[in-house]
């Protein structure tokens, strides 16, 4: 039986042998640690108590950054009740008014960008550029984009009925009510805010259950919201571990959006299913990159290095496996190895570095296991390959060559700085292997022939496929984002993502008066049946117009 994970659930995150970072503090309260050798905990701690606080440590230095109180199930319930009350007034506002207020939040984010970036750098150990570009800028852009798009996308519109010409149908997008946002630690600012901003613009109230691994940045986001003079109960956060997320679903919100692992996705979707709460699941990825025979080696190599090591590989759309055509394989691997060895890794709060720390230390164990399995089955480590000694949680950017689908590194999510290569003889072989996965979030195709690459992209099984580029669709709010297969269902972002946050309501109105009796209503008579029977053939059989008129006569 797998060991109980520090988050209180046996899942893909399980790390047998790890100890719970659980202890009693000076006040006799149970505290769960994370980082600096300790790991997060959830639910009952080692001594049987429930955790009451989360301590946050800087992954790059081990420094204690602060602690946050865990929200109890009762408090979660009350937060949802307050949100429900706040939503009534918010949902009744014209959408333009909601957009204007959300832009105030955007302005506050931009005004306080430096302090947000500083905290992201310290709590996540991510490079300053990534904190600014991939978190703050993405959130600001998304708010701007959707504030502009919402009045058009959410406007009621008429659907022309093909048959019932005597009636007019209108589609309305109504707020769902209270939206629960459950989020992970890899982009702890932009991911929960992405879902929150879209939900708010659609007229909902939002309760965020942030990751227990990065509790401080969620608090900062809430502080910025409140400082913008926006209704406090409209956007709330309920810090805590997995059980707090479970309590949030038990509090019966009207919609749930989870971004997290496949294992958590199964649990959350089941809990939503039991309560018939509609939900979106944004789960794990195993993005393949197909390097065609005519791929531009320099661009492809640089894309692989950026796509594999950005955020230290802790990205759901990371380049997780490369299928390189034998024409380019050797040159590509050599160049990727060269570029990887040039990367500067270290504490991003002290200097400008390319690659930062591992946010959640368990990912280091996962990386080591993948590498040991691959090497034991014949792969060669060409760059990196090990954890860095000394303070902080670092794993070297790693390139592995000679991989195949017998190795877990090619088939299971890594979520760390490892890029495995497999040589293929044809693009068809690459396509077959790319599609040989239980996951289907993002994928990449590199070729100098754009049309050819596009045709190949259309055959890859994934929610998004980028040609000659990596990662950017995480920052294009214009397009729907989400997975197929075990990567989840539903979409964040794009018009589809905005409408996901709405109940779709159809209002049907008569165009002309039909008198007191409708031909479709009672009584059913032999004569009316005969007419409808003739109508069936007239309306739906092949043949020309004259033949069909003949059927009626």
Restricted to residues 477-506, the positions that interact with ligand NAD (CB under 6 A) are: 483
Q: Does 185 bind ligand NAD (CB under 6 A)?
A: yes
Binding string, residues 430-459; x marks residues near ligand NAD by CB under 6 A: -----------x------------------
| 285 belongs to the binding site for ligand NAD (CB under 6 A) | yes
Q: Please answer whether residues 242 and 271 qualify as being in contact, where contact means their C-beta atoms are separated by less than 8 angstroms.
A: no
Stretch that binds ligand NAD, among 129-137, 209-217, 321-329, 424-432 (CB under 6 A): 209-217
Report the residue from 35, 260, 348, 356 that binds ligand NAD according to the rule CB under 6 A.
260
Report angle CA 22, 24, 28 to the nearest 5 degrees.
Answer: 150
Q: Provide the token pair at 138.
A: 């993405």
246 near ligand NAD, judged by CB under 6 A: yes
Residue 314 CB, nearest approach to ligand NAD (Å): 8
Smallest distance, ligand NAD to C-beta of residue 249, A:
6
- Candidates 90, 189, 241, 323: give the one binding ligand NAD (CB under 6 A): 241
Residue 261 interacting with ligand NAD (CB under 6 A)? yes
Q: Using CA of residue 143, residue 502, residue 256, residue 249, what is the dihedral sign?
A: positive
Q: Which of 109, 283, 312, 470 binds ligand NAD (CB under 6 A)?
A: 283
- Give 508-525 as a DSSP string: EEESS---S--TTSSPP-
Q: What are phi and psi of 79, to 5 degrees?
A: -65, -40
Q: Examine residue 236 and tell whether it contacts ligand NAD (CB under 6 A).
A: no
Choose between 52 and 183: whose C-beta lies nearer to ligand NAD. 183
Pairing mode, strands 279-282 and 255-259: parallel
Under rule CB under 6 A, residue 186 binds ligand NAD = yes
CB of 170 to ligand NAD, least distance (A): 33
- Give 51: exposed, middle or buried? Use CB within 10 Å, 0-12, 13-18, 19+: buried
What sign results for the dihedral spanned by CA atoms 96, 494, 241, 81? positive
Taking the complex as a whole, the smallest distance from the CB of residue 127 to ligand NAD amounts, in Å, to: 18
Question: What is the set of active-site residues?
Answer: 282, 316
Q: How far is the CB of 261 from ligand NAD (least distance, A)?
A: 3
Stretch binding ligand NAD (CB under 6 A), from 111-119, 239-247, 506-514, 522-530: 239-247
Tokens coding 300: 């492809």
> Among 55, 134, 267, 491, which residue sits at the site for ligand NAD (rule: CB under 6 A)?
267
* Range 156-184 burial, b when 16+ CB lie within 10 A, else e: eeeeeeeeeeeeeeeeebebbbbbbbbbb
Residues 396-425 that bind ligand NAD (CB under 6 A): 413, 415
Q: How far is the CB of 13 from ligand NAD (least distance, A)?
A: 6
Single out the residue of 192, 233, 197 nearest to residue 215, CA to CA. 192
How does 343-382 read in b/e, with b if 16+ C-beta sit within 10 Å? bebbbbbeeebbbbbbbbbbbbbbbbebbeebbeeebebb
Residues 11 and 33: beta-carbon distance below 8 Å? no
In which residue are the tokens 């592995």 written? 400
> Is the four-CA dihedral 139, 266, 236, 90 of positive or negative sign?
positive
Residues 4-33 that bind ligand NAD (CB under 6 A): 7, 9, 13
Binding segment (CB under 6 A) for ligand NAD, from list 124-132, 283-291, 299-307, 525-533:
283-291
Structure-block tokens of residue 229: 């003079």
When binding is defined by CB under 6 A, the residue of 259, 300, 310, 408 that contacts ligand NAD is 259
> What is the Cα–Cα distance from 221 to 185, expressed in whole angstroms?
14
Binding to ligand NAD in span 314-373, by CB under 6 A: 316
Site for ligand NAD in 93-122 (CB under 6 A): none
Nearest CB to ligand NAD, comparing residues 203 and 242: 242
Nearer to ligand NAD, 202 or 213 (CB): 213
Pull the structure tokens for residue 250: 């038990």
Give the residues lining the site for ligand NAD (CB under 6 A). 7, 9, 13, 182-186, 191, 209, 211-212, 241-242, 245-246, 259-261, 264, 267-268, 282-285, 316, 413, 415, 441, 483
């Amino acid at each position: 039986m797998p060991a109980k994970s520090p988050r209180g659930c046996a899942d893909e995150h399980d790390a047998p042998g790890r100890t719970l970072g659980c202890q009693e503090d000076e006040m006799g309260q149970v505290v769960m640690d994370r980082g600096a050798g300790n790991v997060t905990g959830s639910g009952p701690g080692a001594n049987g108590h429930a955790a009451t606080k989360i301590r946050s440590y800087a992954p790059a230095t081990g420094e204690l950054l602060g602690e946050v109180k865990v929200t109890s199930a009762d408090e979660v319930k009350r937060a949802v009740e307050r949100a429900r009350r706040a939503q009534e007034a918010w949902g009744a506002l014209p959408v333009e008014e909601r957009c204007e207020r959300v832009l105030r939040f955007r302005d506050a984010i931009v005004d306080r960008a430096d302090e947000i970036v500083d905290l992201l750098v310290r709590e996540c150990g991510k490079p300053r550029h990534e904190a600014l570009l991939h978190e703050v800028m993405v959130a600001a852009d998304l708010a701007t984009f959707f504030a502009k798009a919402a009045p058009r996308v959410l406007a009621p519109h008429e659907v022309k009925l093909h048959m019932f010409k005597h009636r007019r149908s209108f589609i309305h997008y109504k707020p769902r009510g209270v939206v629960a946002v459950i989020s992970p630690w890899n982009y702890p600012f932009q991911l929960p805010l992405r879902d929150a901003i879209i939900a708010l613009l659609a007229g909902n109230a939002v309760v965020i259950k942030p990751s227990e691994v990065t509790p401080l940045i969620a608090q900062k986001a809430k502080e910025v919201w409140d400082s913008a003079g926006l209704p406090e109960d409209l956007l709330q956060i309920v810090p805590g571990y997995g059980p707090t997320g479970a309590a949030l679903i038990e509090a019966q919100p009207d919609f749930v959006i989870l971004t997290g692992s496949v294992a958590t996705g199964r649990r959350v979707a089941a809990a939503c299913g039991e309560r018939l709460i509609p939900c979106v699941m944004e789960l794990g990825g195993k993005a393949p990159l197909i390097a065609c025979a005519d791929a531009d080696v320099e661009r492809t190599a640089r894309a692989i290095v950026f796509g594999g090591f950005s955020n230290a590989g802790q990205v759901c759309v990371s380049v997780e496996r490369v299928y390189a055509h034998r024409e380019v394989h050797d040159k590509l691997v050599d160049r990727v190895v060269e570029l990887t060895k040039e990367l500067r890794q270290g504490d991003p709060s002290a200097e400008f570095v390319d690659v930062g720390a591992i946010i959640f230390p368990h990912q280091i164990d996962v990386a080591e296991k993948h590498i040991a399995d691959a090497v034991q089955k014949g792969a060669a480590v060409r760059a990196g390959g090990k954890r860095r000694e000394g303070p902080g949680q670092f794993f070297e950017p790693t390139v592995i060559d000679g991989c195949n689908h017998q190795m877990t590194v090619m088939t299971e999510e890594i979520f760390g700085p490892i890029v495995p290569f497999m040589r293929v003889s044809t693009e068809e072989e690459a396509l077959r292997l790319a599609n040989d996965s239980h996951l289907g979030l993002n994928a990449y195709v590199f070729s100098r022939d754009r049309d050819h690459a596009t045709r190949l992209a259309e055959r890859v099984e994934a929610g998004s496929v980028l040609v000659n580029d990596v990662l950017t669709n995480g920052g294009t709010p214009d397009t729907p984002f989400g997975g197929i297969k075990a990567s989840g269902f539903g979409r964040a972002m794009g018009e589809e993502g905005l409408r996901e946050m709405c109940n779709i309501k159809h209002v049907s109105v008569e165009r002309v008066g039909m008198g007191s009796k409708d031909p479709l209503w009672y009584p059913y008579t032999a004569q009316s049946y005969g007419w409808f029977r003739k109508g069936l053939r007239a309306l739906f059989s092949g043949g020309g117009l004259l033949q069909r008129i003949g059927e009626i006569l």
